[in-house]
Amino acid sequence: MSNTVGALAIHEAVDLIHASHYTVALTGAGSSTPSGIPDFRSAGSGLWARFLPMEVASITAFRQHPDRFFEWLRPLASHMLDAHPNAAHLALAELEAAGQLQTIITQNIDGLHQRAGSKHVLEVHGTLTTLSCVGCYQQISSQGYIDRFIRRGTIPRCPECQRILKPDTVLFEEQLPAKIWLQARKAAERCELMIVAGSSLVVMPVAGLPMKALEHGAKLIIINQSSTYLDERAAVLLNGDVAEIIPALAENIFSRLIS
């Protein structure tokens, strides 16, 4: 574990989690990079260091050049489908099962929280598990379609009208899914504790949820490799790898629960 994460800080975080009756985790790309999924914004290595987002991942780009969008998506989707939940995902699922975590709000579209066993996951930036037709608007499971797309490069098309099927991920220029976003805001306003895990808190409006939690009296634990705009407001700040820190927190919590 990083030497910037001391036993005292771990103990303080465990105290907060143990005392909270409603805890929310907000996870970002840093919670999935240990599973081998590239993030978008890291200097030099993030996807946006190699691609201009408005040219490949905006709704305008999708409508004008869907083939370019799918060409960009193909290796990323392959990474996501081949990835396995890491220790952070598994520890969060265990905390939820033990009643120590009530909701996960995630900026990720990889589905790893669900594969780890988490039940109450709010995917505010959408998901690859479903597709929506741009013609007749029906929504269908991506099972089979995404596999063929990754293996052969076949752009998915609607079985009814043969128009292109768009993955239900949120592109630039698109609104967040309204129902999910309202649930996320409600969870942020209701929680007594929010754990920010693997997010630099730069993408709005999701980056504003921890501030909303603070405004409603919640405490904040931030676990991240880099700094965030709310570091000074955090009750506990843990700089390091979420795949090391979150399992350590869970281990300490479970030891306390059985003692």
CATH assignment of the domain containing 75: 3.30.1600.10
**pLDDT for 6:** 77
Judgement on whether residues 54 and 156 belong to the same structural domain of the protein:
yes
**pLDDT for 45:** 40
Q: Is the pLDDT of residue 152 over 70?
A: yes
**pLDDT for 105:** 98
| Helix or strand run (H / E) with residue 32 | none
Q: What does the pLDDT average to over 31-45? A: 71
CB contact set of 193 (below 8 Å; sequence gap of 6+): 16, 17, 20, 22, 23, 24, 218, 219, 220, 221
Judgement on whether residues 73 and 183 belong to the same structural domain of the protein:
no
Helix runs in 38-155, H state only? 53-56, 59-64, 66-82, 87-97, 112-116, 145-152
The one catalytic residue in 65, 79, 113, 125 is 125
> 165-169 and 126-133: which strand pairing?
antiparallel
Reported as half-sphere exposure (CB side, CA atoms, 13 A), residue 256 has a value of 18
Residue-wise pLDDT tens digits, 121-135:
999 999 988 999 999
CATH assignment of the domain containing 89: 3.40.50.1220
* Residue 140: both structure tokens together: 């269908």
Q: What residues make up the domain containing 117?
A: 1-37+85-125+176-259
Judgement on whether residues 188 and 243 belong to the same structural domain of the protein:
yes
Span of 46-60, 98-112, 125-139, 165-179 with lowest mean pLDDT: 46-60
Largest Cα span, the chain: 60
Q: Dihedral of CA 146/148/154/157: which sign?
A: negative
How many domains does one find in the chain? Answer: 2
Judgement on whether residues 197 and 248 belong to the same structural domain of the protein:
yes
Q: Which of 6, 168, 198 is nearest to 88 (CA)?
A: 198
Task: Give catalytic status of residue 125 as yes or no.
Answer: yes
Q: Is the pLDDT of residue 144 over 50?
A: yes
Q: What does the pLDDT average to over 195-221? A: 96
pTM: 0.89
